[in-house]
Amino acid sequence: MKIKCLPEDFRVEETTALQPAHGPTALYQLRKESLGTLEAIRAIAERWKIPESQFSFGGLKDRHASTSQWISIDNGPRRNLSQSHLSLEYAGQIDRPFCSDDIRSNRFHLVIRDLSESDARQLVENLAGAEREGVPNYFDRQRFGSRGRSGEFTACPWCQGDFERALWLALAEPNRHDRPGQRIDKQSLRHHWGDWGLCHELIHDPPVRRILEFLVHNPRDFRRAFAMIDVRIRRLYLAAFQSWVWNELLASCLKDACDPAALMTIDVEGQLLPFLLPQQAHTIAAAARPGALPLPSARLHLSEHDPLLAPLQSILQPYKLSLREMRVKYPRDSFFSKGDRAAFFHPADCSEQSDEDELHASRRKLTLNFDLPPGAYATMLLKALTVWCDESLADNEDATQ
């Protein structure tokens, strides 16, 4: 089984009910391929000479896909843009920046290749089961891209007030997403950490150089140096840790509510996340399934008798944090999100088509179309579909990338 063999094999279109009318903010439809959302915005900002702080969007879209999403620019140009790997189509004016609440759904078009006839049939059956029973709404590995090789979360020392460690994780720790130039810069930082003058000479990335220039004159002020990291990047650090803790909370709830025989486990970035087996899912009483779980942070006020308090304390203990310590004191422009997240999601408007795979002789390809609610991961749905197949298909590495 293989996915994302071609960029067009994984397409997603963000839909919105927001109607342009009037206002100071320009709304655009961004189409991109082989670019992450932040990379695309950086390219547009450079092309139009507009500060990135004027851009807003509802969510990050996969770089290894062909995607369409909505973005806005405060006082942005009322024109289109087209360049390599991206295009912008001006849609009109709105009275405020576009945000995640404006996303109605995401429409997916996925092509799964190198399948046998029986694999294709099984996947179609599993999609129907997912539409009927739902899939645990875990955050997938894309959410944790800021976590480096050590597995530490930058948010943890940040919450603890250890700004030097937070800065080191942010600037120097190796990450699988590093580009070649970043790998060289990070290696220099690790070897010469503390010699800020030399680091400033060796590093090429302009945002990192600005931080190092500040440290040359303020060598121990890691607090303000950390605050110089782009606020959007710092918020990703918080979102990654909060999402990890939420995943652990949902996993704990499912283990408590279900017979172990009804569960199958998937390893996602080192988290062992339980899924309901399709043949057992209908036997789990609806009352035993959590409808929604709160996003954990100090903003969540639980009584000592709340059933979520004990599992959250247990989850946070290895990170040397309590729930009330899961907060940021400085800088004030960053904070953990507040609210609830649905524990399960249901794909909707599903359709499928099986054809000969032109890339793999004598094999099948399966094209799936479906809608997911905002915040749900198509890759998590794929994990559920494949873990419900026979072992040879479920264990295929390509199934979960």
Rounded Cα distance, 398 and 401, in Å: 6
pLDDT at residue 395 greater than cutoff 60: no
Tokens of 66: 């062909």
pLDDT at residue 190 greater than cutoff 80: yes
Which residues have a Cβ under 8 Å from the Cβ of 307 and sit 6 or more positions away? none
What ranges in 193-281 are assigned the alpha helix state H?
Answer: 196-202, 206-217, 222-227, 231-257, 278-281
pTM: predicted TM-score of the whole model, two decimal places = 0.89
pLDDT at residue 312 greater than cutoff 80: yes
Q: CA dihedral defined by 249, 251, 252, 253, rounded to 10 degrees?
A: 90
Neighbours of 312 (CB within 10 A): 22
Q: What distance, in Å, lies between the first and last C-alpha atoms of the chain? A: 11
Picking from 121-130, 149-158, 180-189, which range would have the lowest pLDDT averaged per residue?
Answer: 121-130
Q: What is the pLDDT of residue 198?
A: 98
Domain range summary for the chain, segments of one domain joined by + = 19-97, 106-134+346-400, 155-232
Q: Half-sphere exposure (CA, 13 Å, Cβ side) for 342?
A: 13
Place of tokens 């997916």: 108
Picking from 309-313, 318-322, 326-330, 380-384, which range would have the lowest pLDDT averaged per residue?
Answer: 380-384
Residue 216 three-state SS:
helix
Contact yes or no for 337/240 (Cβ under 8 A): no
Q: What is the pLDDT of residue 140?
A: 95
Residue 383 three-state SS:
helix
Rounded Cα distance, 150 and 130, in Å: 34
Phi first, then psi: give them for residue 182, nearest 5 degrees: -65, -40
pLDDT at residue 329 greater than cutoff 90: yes
Angle at 171 between CA 165 and CA 173, to 5 degrees: 75
Which residues have a Cβ under 8 Å from the Cβ of 211 and sit 6 or more positions away? 167, 171, 225, 228, 229
The per-residue pLDDT for range 231-275, each reduced to its tens digit, is: 989 999 999 999 999 999 999 999 988 888 888 899 999 999 998
Contact yes or no for 84/33 (Cβ under 8 A): no
Q: What is the pLDDT of residue 398?
A: 37
DSSP secondary structure string for all residues of 284-330: S-GGGS-SEEEPPSTT----TT-TTHHHHHHHHGGGT--GGG-S--S
Q: Per-residue confidence at 401, pLDDT binned at 50, 70, 90? A: very low
* CA 375 to each of CA 69, 104, 143, 155: distance values in angstroms, whole numbers, following the listed order: 13, 10, 10, 21
Tokens of 43: 């390219």
- The CATH-assigned architecture of domain 19-97 is 2-Layer Sandwich (3.30)
pLDDT at residue 150 greater than cutoff 70: yes
Rounded Cα distance, 297 and 53, in Å: 26
What is the overall mean pLDDT for the chain?
Answer: 91
DSSP secondary structure letter of residue 157: H
Place of tokens 């961004």: 30
Closest CA to 344 of 299, 300, 301, 289: 289
The length of the chain in residues reads 401
- For a pLDDT cut of 70, what percent of the chain falls above it? 94
Picking from 122-126, 219-223, 325-329, which range would have the lowest pLDDT averaged per residue?
Answer: 122-126
Q: What is the pLDDT of residue 4?
A: 87
- Give strand pairing partners of 266: 273
Tokens of 360: 């793999």
List b or e across 256-281, with b for residues whose CB sees 16 or more CB atoms inside 10 angstroms: ebbeeebbbebebbebebbbbbbeeb
Q: What is the pLDDT of residue 394?
A: 42
Q: What is the pLDDT of residue 69?
A: 97
Q: Per-residue confidence at 280, pLDDT binned at 50, 70, 90? A: low
Q: Per-residue confidence at 115, pLDDT binned at 50, 70, 90? A: very high
DSSP secondary structure letter of residue 115: E
pLDDT at residue 353 greater than cutoff 80: yes
pLDDT at residue 400 greater than cutoff 70: no
What ranges in 85-154 are assigned the alpha helix state H?
Answer: 117-133
Q: What is the pLDDT of residue 283?
A: 58
Rounded Cα distance, 396 and 266, in Å: 12
State the pairing for strand pair 263-268/135-136: unpaired
- For a pLDDT cut of 90, what percent of the chain falls above it? 80
What would the mean pLDDT of 13-40 be, rounded to a whole number? 94
Q: CA dihedral defined by 11, 16, 20, 22, rounded to 10 degrees?
A: -120
Longest Cα separation, the chain: 66
